[in-house]
Structure 1
Amino acid sequence: MSTPVIELRDVSRKYDDGPPALQEASFAVRAGEAVAILGPSGSGKSTLLNLIAGLDRPDAGTVTVDGVRVDQLGEAGSALYRRAKIGMVFQFFNLLDDLTVADNVVLPAQLAGMARGTAHRRAEELLENLGIARHAGAYPGRLSGGERQRVAVARALMNRPALLLADEPTGALDTAAGEEVCRLLTELNADGQTIVVVTHDLGLARACTTRTIELVDGRIASDGATLTAAVR
């Protein structure tokens, strides 16, 4: 079998004097999978996302992403790791309103040192593929929520990441726009992109992914293709 893109082994994280946010979590995600990390508020989803993204470190256990021991990286190494390996899509888009759509998409490539011409050709390709090329010169504030999320996905894919992390990607969208973004994630996965969606929405998990990992009180409660109980 292929080497996992993500591998967590006995990962735990505790903050201050409260209960552990994550307790002895172990799982692997292989290339081309679309996985939902599912659970209610306080279940440990955000902690898990931050550990995979190198934004936090575990107190115990190991986190490996695309061959990189993320738990051993320092601040500078974590930034380089995210730039090279991770694309992130957030609930509230996190676009820069004073930059055009094209400039928002190009930004990760500029930070990575990609040649200007190469970066702009890549951005044009992504915007065309995602159906928003006509908005390249517009500013994000003039776009609908669904269009802004497509821009965010294009930006996340700019450096051809091994892993796309989506944190509640439809949480700020109406139903129609949310379904549009869900179809987009499904299409990207069908093209081979490895995706992890972090959500409390069982419907989103079922529609966009083929495997769910359910967290309850910081522990993995289930790991499989089907969930039978709604998450509240």
Structure 2
Amino acid sequence: MAPNVPVIDIREVTRTYGEDPPALADVTLSVRAGEAVAVLGPSGSGKSTLLNLIAGLDRPSTGSVTVDGLRVDALSEAGSARYRRTRIGMVFQFFNLLDDLTVTDNVLLPAQLAGLSRGEARTRAAGLLESLRIDRHADAYPGRLSGGERQRVAVARALMNRPALLLADEPTGALDTASGDDVRALLADLNAAGQTIVLVTHDLALARSCATRTVELVDGRIVRDSGHVAPAATR
């Protein structure tokens, strides 16, 4: 992307469901390359709705969502699926790994869906597993790993296609204290290397340790934004 063009550009977005109060109300948010933004707020504040809009899993009732130069809210179903394969990586609270596939095969899945050559994909997967310090488990099955190790596999899978943006939904929510600390350090290291990250979390320790910026939602509105902090590196 061109310098100073935001990776995420959300303009005056409102999302309503039937007659209920808006899940998001007139939200405008910009995230630049190299930022790690933690979205905080109580249950029902709109955090998951915001993440789903960025991921192209939902559409705004009004307003626009642009990610990596692409109008996500205007995509077709097929376009949304292609966008998630090529522009973003997603990490979930409960890992979403396939237990009948090895660690390597789980990591290879996004590349296979994107049509990357097998040789190139396997080289990329091996490099990610090594850099995330889980290469010794390459041929293991996820059920034999600790929670922290499984989350590392999930992060490797999310980074497989070199996404402009990494989205994380409560990435430490299902982990014990030690594993949570491990994932916090991993996300901080990824951001220090230039990866743009948006994470939704109740984990204040995670926000403090790896976010360069915090955004707080209450009743679907941004009530606090700590502002931009110059990133340590650029992609």
TM-score bin, normalised by smaller chain: over 0.9
CA contact (8 A) 2:24 2:50 kept: yes
Match of 1:217 in 2: 219
1:171 aligned residue: 173
* Number of equivalenced pairs: 226
- Residues of 2 paired with 1:74 and 1:144: CA distance? 38
Helix, strand or coil: the match of 1:222? Answer: strand
For structure 2, the residue ranges without an aligned partner over 5 or more in a row are 229-235
Deviation at 1:225, TM superposition (A): 5.3
**Which residue does the alignment assign to 2:163?**
161
Single out whichever of 198-207 and 76-85 deviates more from structure 2. Answer: 198-207
Mean Cα deviation higher: 193-202 or 154-163: 193-202
CA deviation vs aligned residue, 1:23-63 (integer Å, no higher than 9, x gap): 00001000000000111110000000000000000000000
Alignment of 1:55-134 (within 5 A): 55-134=57-136
AA partner of residue 130 (structure 2): E
Deviation per residue, 1:94-115 (Å, 9 max, x gap): 0000000000000000000000
Secondary structure in structure 2 of the residue aligned to 1:205: helix
Match among 28, 31, 34 for residue 32 of structure 1? 34
Distance 1:169 1:201 in 2: 9
Deviation at 1:182, TM superposition (A): 0.4
* Secondary structure class of the residue paired with 2:119: helix
SS in 2 for 1:173: coil
Worse-matched range after superposition: 103-112 or 15-24:
15-24
- TM-score (normalised: structure 1): 0.96
Secondary structure, in 3 states, of the residue corresponding to 1:91?
coil
Query: Aligned equivalents of 2:203 and 2:222: distance in 1?
Result: 17
- The RMSD of aligned alpha carbons is 1.0
Q: Aligned residue for 1:50?
A: 52
Structure 1: unaligned runs, 5 residues or longer: 227-232
Contact residue 59 and residue 73 of structure 2 kept, 8 A? yes
| Separation in 2, partners of 1:207, 1:35 | 11
For 1:41, the aligned partner's letter is S
- The normalised TM-score by structure 2 is 0.95
Q: Is the 8 A contact 2:172 2:203 kept in 1?
A: no
- Distance, in Å, in 1 between the alignment partners of 2:21 and 2:107 is 39
Aligned to 1:230: none
1:49 aligned partner, one-letter code: L
Paired with 1:201 and 1:91, the residues of 2 have a C-alpha distance of 12
Whole-angstrom distance in 1 between the partners of 2:87 and 2:189:
20
In the TM superposition, residue 203 of structure 1 has moved relative to its aligned partner by 2.2
Following superposition, the deviation at residue 201 of structure 1 comes to: 2.2
Distance of 1:58 and 1:32 partners within structure 2? 25
C-alpha distance in 1 between matches for 2:227 and 2:173 = 22
